[in-house]
Structure 1
Amino acid sequence: MEKPLLCLLNLLLCFHQFYGRSLRPSIAYGTADGSEEWGYVEVRPKAHLFWWLYRSPQRVENSSSPWPTVLWLQGGPGASGVGIGNFQEVGPLDTNLKPRESTWLQRADLLFVDNPVGTGYSYVENTSSLVKTDEESASDLTMLLKKLYNGNERLQKSPLYVVAESYGGKFAVTLGLSVVKAIKAGQLNLTFGGIALGDTWISPEDFVLSWGPLLKDVSRLDINGEEKSNSLAKVIQTQIAEGKYKEATDTWGQLEYVISENSNSVDFYNFLLDSAMDPLGMTSAESTAAATQSSVKMIMRGYSRYLSSKAVSTVSLNDLMNGIIKQKLKIIPENVSWDGQADLVFISLESDFMKPRINEVDELLSMGVNVTIYSGQVDLICATKGTEAWVQKLKWKELQNFNNATREPIYCENDMVTRGFFKSYSNLHFYWILEAGHYVPVDQPCVALRMLSEITQSPARTSVASS
């Protein structure tokens, strides 16, 4: 099976590169005032990760609480943090290149990385360099952090927090363990603040099992649709238990199609809406492989399409990144297109896609690493119902104390309207964000900024509304 797949990946890669010059590593670059830096790190031979660092204009120096840096990890796998997280969610500018009022630069410096290699502006020169596991991605990210932090005193003074969205959560927990190990070994010089998991794909089994009952409860599926959904979800549960992760990915593709067909195309990023994605032209006669590929396309296209529907934009993200932004950055090789290898990234990781990462969360908690979980109320793909289910599978010795802790309401801007709830015990923290879907910073920007301040303890100049 591996040889045909490798041939297919190489064929696709050659197609992407046909009109360009040979790929080559690039050097770091930045703005004259030092507010932005970007560049490539060759994390392995022929594997190049692209990063972009913004320094906050509101940075508070000489504080007893050091100004933090947030490493943002996008999901997919294959979705671009440099593009999506930056220009559509938390960066300083939107896709119209207008200032974003709710940018997370108000509370932290921001480091965006197109992860894994092959995502966004990151690229591989040969498909053999694509990552096949979350651990391999973590190893690459750790190498990038070593290159950026070791020897850089300014960065070392700023504690690093990893904030992840969607599949990025699986990268975050494996990266967290890798970072702790590298710090203890004296190989990485940074202060690690912890991780935040935003609507993350930590336990695929618990999410797919939640979809049918949740959609039935909100009238999006009837009893027949719920039965079809539950039946496929149980197949996935069995496949995961038997370690058949590739087969589980195939069944997941079928399940997403069945749910779309029986719900009149519910939006997987907000179950109160119809899908914001273009029709994929699927038919009930499609094969398992075709269903999986369609679901992959649905994820990759849906990320940007859904977010674009939330804002008035005169330019597509693809045009922006392959146009004026590529020109600004100067160091993107001529034959590298933003998002040009994204499909290859997902294909390479399809055998890891349905693998749970609950044990990694447990290990981080046992090490004393701060773990924050936040979940949008109307998200479907990483539904709160599924998130709560996997949290209860933790073997962490303080879980019962966490369960018994009092849940506090969250307000914003002193309007006294309940925007969410918060619970915390020891180093585990959980935010329930009301009226938010998969993209919490977009749907509830004020609450997201408050949450970020609490996660990072950033010494912001302006106070954040408290409950």
Structure 2
Amino acid sequence: MQSQRESGNTSAPLLLWLNGGPGTSSLLGVLAETGPIRFDPDSLEPKLADTPAWTDDFDVLYIDQPVGTGFSYASNADGFATSQEEIVLDLFEAFQQFFQLFPEYYEKPLYLTGISYAGKYVPWLAVRVHDENQKPETRQYPLEGIVTINGFTDPTSAFSDTAQFLYQHGLVDRNGEAQIQEGAEILAQATELEDWLTAVLIIADFGNNETGLLNNLTGYTQMYNVADPYDQGLPPGTWEIYPEFVNQPKIRDAIHVGQTPFGGGYDVQASLLLDFPQSAKNKLVTILNNNYKVLLLNGAIDLVLGPRTCTSLLNSSNDWRDLDLYQQSKQEILKDETGSVVGYLTKVRNMWQAKVLGGTHYAPANVPGPVYSILKEFIAASSIGR
């Protein structure tokens, strides 16, 4: 989708947007998070978003991936990815084809962005693009930086202090805190041993909605909002209705998908089961150490992937050359145009860590204004050392 700020804007940066899941279609991003389109849940008619859209100022490329997600399909089970290595092979091929079809984008700044499980996809793809750019015979992709929102980049960091967080919010007692902390320690041990089956069972046991440890201890059926046990993160009915919306013949015609079935993502999740507990921290550190711009944004009330998980991730990134600077840094207060506090921002060279007040797991949807303001400021900022 091209920037709506000016017709034919030739200078707007290009943003690649990826939803997470795994198995969540990036059309959800178009229709409920960062795109300019919404839909009426009763009539299934499209309408313009009444909140800031990322396409207001930027060109945004939305890709359904891994293969089997949304309108991206595989003819049989062998086509489903089982690892980030396989995901990035497919994604980079699509990425290359896009630039071959639209070579004008070689001249525009490029940012790779995504939410939740895309906290793995984004750094993996960024490193792949970086590596490709080191080849002298290759036309350079104009990669400037990456953005992750509530990224599931490093599962061990995500769960390391969840028990304390839930206790401090009054959601569990000391006994419940001890149970959750025990699981986090087993997860860390299994991760160190690369015992991925044990690790994924711990994660599944914690958050399996109505049968998991979180539900048993707190009654929460969703993990998107620490203040609401039932919040699905998006407007009521979105998850159930948006597949029906995109499957309408007129919508399928408009996005040129022919008779391709719309995948619900379950096969994608199953194929990537053992990828769930694996970390992409080393890929993120590679991007940081090569002076790319990095924005790590978290909604302050995301129950599982809030700001504390990003702080744990960065503090455990021992190979990050600016770790000492980060640990000595001080955050600044973010205010909107009315002077109201909307969040906090820490800057260390090209790394920005943003915390958005009121932001749930789907912060671009529930606090779109502050998220978009931070994004614009980040992209407008000069890169240091590149």
Q: TM-score, normalised by structure 1?
A: 0.75
Counterpart contact for 2:300–2:359, Cα < 8 Å: yes
Question: Bigger shift: 171-180 or 349-358?
Answer: 349-358
Is 1:212 equivalent to 2:163 in the alignment?
Answer: yes
Does the residue aligned with 1:147 lie in a helix, a strand or coil?
Answer: helix
Does the residue aligned with 1:246 lie in a helix, a strand or coil?
Answer: helix
Counterpart contact for 1:402–1:428, Cα < 8 Å: no
Does the residue aligned with 1:111 lie in a helix, a strand or coil?
Answer: strand
Q: Measure, in 2, the Cα distance between the counterparts of 1:388 and 1:188.
A: 36
Q: How far 1:370 moved relative to its partner?
A: 1.3
Q: Measure, in 2, the Cα distance between the counterparts of 1:223 and 1:78.
A: 36
The partner residue of 1:308 within 208, 220, 235 is 235
Q: Which amino acid aligns with 2:225?
A: N
Q: How does 1:32-43 map to 2 (within 5 A)?
A: none
Q: How does 1:283-294 map to 2 (within 5 A)?
A: none
Tell me how many residue pairs correspond in the alignment. 370
In structure 1, what is the equivalent of residue 296 of structure 2? 373
In structure 1, what is the equivalent of residue 380 of structure 2? 457
Q: How far 1:415 moved relative to its partner?
A: 1.3
Q: Measure, in 2, the Cα distance between the counterparts of 1:61 and 1:410.
A: 33
C-alpha root-mean-square deviation of aligned residues, in Å? 2.2
The partner residue of 1:323 within 248, 267, 270 is 248
The partner residue of 2:78 within 101, 117, 128 is 128
Q: How far 1:249 moved relative to its partner?
A: 0.9
1:368-403 Cα offsets, whole Å, 9 max, x none, are 111111111100121222221111011212122233
Shift in CA distance, 339/89, structure 1 to aligned 2, threshold 3 Å: same
Q: Which amino acid aligns with 1:323?
A: Q
Counterpart contact for 1:146–1:189, Cα < 8 Å: no
Q: How far 1:168 moved relative to its partner?
A: 0.4
The partner residue of 1:168 within 118, 126, 144 is 118
Q: How far 1:406 moved relative to its partner?
A: 3.3
Q: Measure, in 1, the Cα distance between the counterparts of 2:114 and 2:140.
A: 22
Q: Which amino acid aligns with 2:5?
A: Q
Is 1:448 equivalent to 2:371 in the alignment?
Answer: yes
Q: Measure, in 1, the Cα distance between the counterparts of 2:363 and 2:4.
A: 24
Q: Measure, in 1, the Cα distance between the counterparts of 2:172 and 2:158.
A: 16
Q: Measure, in 1, the Cα distance between the counterparts of 2:91 and 2:196.
A: 24
Q: Measure, in 1, the Cα distance between the counterparts of 2:24 and 2:69.
A: 6
Structure 2 unaligned residues grouped into runs of 5+: 41-45, 382-386
In structure 1, what is the equivalent of residue 89 of structure 2? 139
Larger radius of gyration: 1
Structure 1 unaligned residues grouped into runs of 5+: 1-53, 277-304, 459-467
Counterpart contact for 2:129–2:141, Cα < 8 Å: no
Is 1:118 equivalent to 2:68 in the alignment?
Answer: yes
Is 1:406 equivalent to 2:353 in the alignment?
Answer: no
Counterpart contact for 2:3–2:9, Cα < 8 Å: no
Q: Measure, in 1, the Cα distance between the counterparts of 2:255 and 2:91.
A: 23
Q: Which amino acid aligns with 2:235?
A: S
In structure 2, what is the equivalent of residue 48 of structure 1? none
Q: How far 1:189 moved relative to its partner?
A: 4.2
In structure 2, what is the equivalent of residue 8 of structure 1? none
In structure 1, what is the equivalent of residue 15 of structure 2? 70
> After the TM superposition, which parts of structure 1 deviate over 6 Å for at least 4 consecutive aligned residues?
60-63, 312-315
Q: Measure, in 2, the Cα distance between the counterparts of 1:398 and 1:313.
A: 41
Shift in CA distance, 139/455, structure 1 to aligned 2, threshold 3 Å: farther
Q: Measure, in 1, the Cα distance between the counterparts of 2:189 and 2:128.
A: 30
In structure 1, what is the equivalent of residue 146 of structure 2? 195
The partner residue of 2:58 within 74, 84, 108 is 108
Question: Bigger shift: 104-113 or 259-268?
Answer: 259-268
The partner residue of 1:228 within 179, 182, 185 is 179
1:87-145 Cα offsets, whole Å, 9 max, x none, are 01111111222211311111211110001110010000121111111122112111112
Shift in CA distance, 200/314, structure 1 to aligned 2, threshold 3 Å: closer
In structure 1, what is the equivalent of residue 4 of structure 2? 57
Q: How far 1:230 moved relative to its partner?
A: 1.3
Counting aligned pairs with the same residue, the percent is 21
Shift in CA distance, 330/93, structure 1 to aligned 2, threshold 3 Å: closer
Q: Which amino acid aligns with 2:234?
A: L
Counterpart contact for 2:332–2:346, Cα < 8 Å: yes
Shift in CA distance, 325/246, structure 1 to aligned 2, threshold 3 Å: farther
Counterpart contact for 1:441–1:448, Cα < 8 Å: yes
